[in-house]
Chain A
């Protein structure tokens, strides 16, 4: 959890925990006040209420303060998102095909796989296409998700930062075996990846690649 598995994790988690912290503060404040008032101004203890029609100063305060806070939240979310949507030029490309109910991956040299192997610390761009209905390509550990929609090609990217492996889920409901549309991303060292990606690939492509 604490180790950042992709370059998005830091900014997403920061935005998330910032909003959670603000939320917990307000929730505790509101709940605490409610409980305090209910006890202090209980009818037995306080048989006569006092009418207070409102207070413009307070209304302004509790409109302006949350507005400023949400603008910060918006900003953190937006900057994180901008990073997600700007794909680096030097990314390695993997074509991802989604269908009921599996993902398959195809590399530039023609290699195909049901598991996504990627090199560590190298930006990977995924081209997402669907053969049938809507799916979504989701790697929770990388904070990465993108819908896979038939008739249009969505793209996403990530840089895996640790040698490890993680689940890939389909996150958009796609029928009977939606929950079994599951595979893994395996992050390898650069050299291990190069060995893997060239293994069993027809020689011609291999030769081209070696040049």
Chain B
């Protein structure tokens, strides 16, 4: 053991990509407990699942190009949107930023060598992979892929002959992966901050991950329990949810949304953290309202746990419940609005450079604002009655989840990938990719707002002629969007192989700790654990400049 320790400490100063631990080659990756390598493992898996999810999305839109059958039968279409939802939500958006960039950068940003429980971290990656593979296998097993939508509403989900149980089990396992990541991050932030790294000296991405981690730990077990209750019902015949056994389908909906609404914040809060990192760096000034941004993440986590039933306004709840859940839904919009205002104010009197990460961050603000504001529209009870379960909802959550989290992930990729691999992508091509993605995105999703207001229900294989034009525009948008994704993938992957090497530690002029270390970082992250004396976005040179001018 002692020889091993000395061995590791000897090459702890080599770059983490070349580092040799107990294992070599592939094993050196899939059994590595280095938070950076685990982050990369997640990244590879995540981008692969994303590509699969996008393919299903493409097929959904293609089927909807014309009235009646375009490419597939209804059963296949129903499986497409179920798989699209399950893969995107459980395998891409929920793990998304915490698992990849949280793993890689959280320890570095707070001045730590690793997360608190490196082995549990590896376990959570393995659980994620097992869950992901199960989702893919469910497509191939006899019975066929689940056709219930990602919400698995009972009683349909217990009537259908498709592989629902298997897919549900996959979600159960993925839930554990998420809980473990959450526990790890909470502990890491509490215990492993470098000397001097007080709570209010932490970068805002860490604050966002902290709020997210608590939701992961507290909310995810509920979906686990719900899935277990379904097993109890099926195996022991205890009537819980299925009216055929004397159960209540509404109870299932409550339990499902008690998790799945907070899950929306698991998805979006880390992306808000990314934007809070990028804006000050590319405006080259202190962030406006640091504490308000930090606390609004916590407020979202708290309030966001109390609004789940807004997904069920048309289900026939009591008026009191409707009243409370509608009111709280409106209030949860406030902390998000506070963030948006503070980000915008951070641009004021900055010195702004529109590099690709900044483009994505600004697009995030725009698209997330549309997503958030249309969420407010649905908070109004009478309006929600009309809009719920129409394509308006589909548009709303794609603006939040893709326009928000998705663009946040692309912002993070363009911001941090050069640090992670020490190689730079082509900035011009990155901007071309961005514009295709942005234009395609709006062409794809905006028409869904309009036709949703006009009454087009969601999860429809076919539609009335009056909705044709919106469906056609939307499908064309999906092609533009995918073209953008191809540019982005090509550019980023090419950069890892043959991108220009960067020697500069700090390519963007950031002041958080990851910009003070090598690109790519060494195995131990820091040659010496740093002593932190100032906040994350101080930009003291601005004040010095100002003093000079005054003189």
- Which A residues are closer than 8 A to B by beta carbons? 8, 11-12, 15-16, 19-20, 23, 26-27, 30-31, 33-34, 37-38, 41-43, 46-55, 58-59, 62-63, 66-67, 70-71, 73-74, 76-85, 132-134, 136, 138, 140-141, 143-147, 149-152, 154, 167, 169-180
Across-interface contacts of B149 in A (CB, < 8 A): 173
B463 to chain A, nearest CB (A): 7
- Kindly report which residue of chain A lies nearest to residue B549, judged by CB atoms: A48
Given known A50-B349, A62-B338, A179-B460, contact A74–B389 (CB-CB < 8 A)? no
| B500 within 8 A of partner (CB) | no
Q: Report the minimum CB–CB distance from B355 to chain A (whole Å).
A: 10
Closest to A166 in B: B455
B352 / chain A contacts, CB cutoff of 8 Å: 37-38, 41-43, 46
The residues of A that contact B550 with a CB separation of less than 8 Å are none
The verdict on B218 contacting chain A, using a C-beta distance below 8 Å, is: no
Contact between chains at A15 and B382 (CB < 8 Å): yes
Complex formed: what's the CA distance from A7 to B367 in Å? 34
A50 proximity list for chain B (CB < 8 A):
285, 349-350, 542, 546
Asked whether, in the complex, the Cβ of A23 is within 8 Å of the Cβ of B460, the reply is: no
Q: Are B455 and A77 in contact (CB under 8 A)?
A: no
- Across-interface contacts of B337 in A (CB, < 8 A): 26, 62, 66
B351 and A15 within 8 A (CB): no
Residues of B within 8 A of A34 (CB): 344, 347, 362, 365-366
Contact A78 B457 (CB under 8 A): no
Question: Which residues of chain A are within 8 angstroms of B529 by Cβ–Cβ distance?
Answer: none
CB distance from B335 to the nearest CB of A (A): 9
Mask of B431-473 contacts with A, CB within 8 angstroms, 1/0: 0000000000000000000000111011111111000000000
Q: Say if the beta carbon of B286 comes within 8 Å of chain A.
A: yes
Q: Are A46 and B290 closer than 8 Å at their CB atoms?
A: no
Q: Is the CB of A73 within 8 A of B380?
A: yes
Q: How big is the B interface, by class?
A: 35 or more
Contact B373 A132 (CB under 8 A): no
Residues of B within 8 A of A37 (CB): 344, 347-348, 350, 352
Which residues on B sit within 8 Å (CB–CB) of A136? Answer: 314, 389
B86 to chain A, nearest CB (A): 14
Known: A26-B369, A143-B386. A58 touches B249 (CB 8 A): no
Interface string of B59-97 (1 = CB under 8 A from A): 000000000000000110010000000000000000000
- Interface residue? B24 (CB, 8 A): no
B543 contacts partner chain A, Cβ-Cβ < 8 Å: yes
Contacts of B344 in A (CB 8 A): 30, 33-34, 37
**Considering the chains assembled together, what is the distance between the CA atoms of A52 and B149 in angstroms?**
47
Do A176 and B388 touch across chains, with their CB atoms under 8 A apart? no
Contacting residue for A167 out of B244, B464, B539, CB 8 A: B464
Q: What is the chain B residue whose CB lies nearest that of A50?
A: B349
Known interface pairs A70-B331, A76-B380, A138-B389; A48-B326 also in contact (CB < 8 Å): no
Q: Contact: A53 with B383, CB < 8 Å?
A: no
Smallest CB–CB gap between B435 and chain A, Å? 15
Among residues 313 to 338 in chain B, which have CB atoms less than 8 Å away from a CB atom of chain A? 313-316, 319, 322-323, 326-327, 330-331, 333-334, 337-338
A146-B316, A178-B459 given as contacts; is B351 within 8 A of A41 (CB)?
Answer: yes
Instruction: Chain A residues near B290: list those with CB within 8 A.
Output: 53-54
Of the candidates A52, A70, A77, the one having the most CB atoms from chain B within 10 angstroms of its own CB is A77
Chain B residues lying within 8 Å of A33, measured Cβ to Cβ, are 344, 347
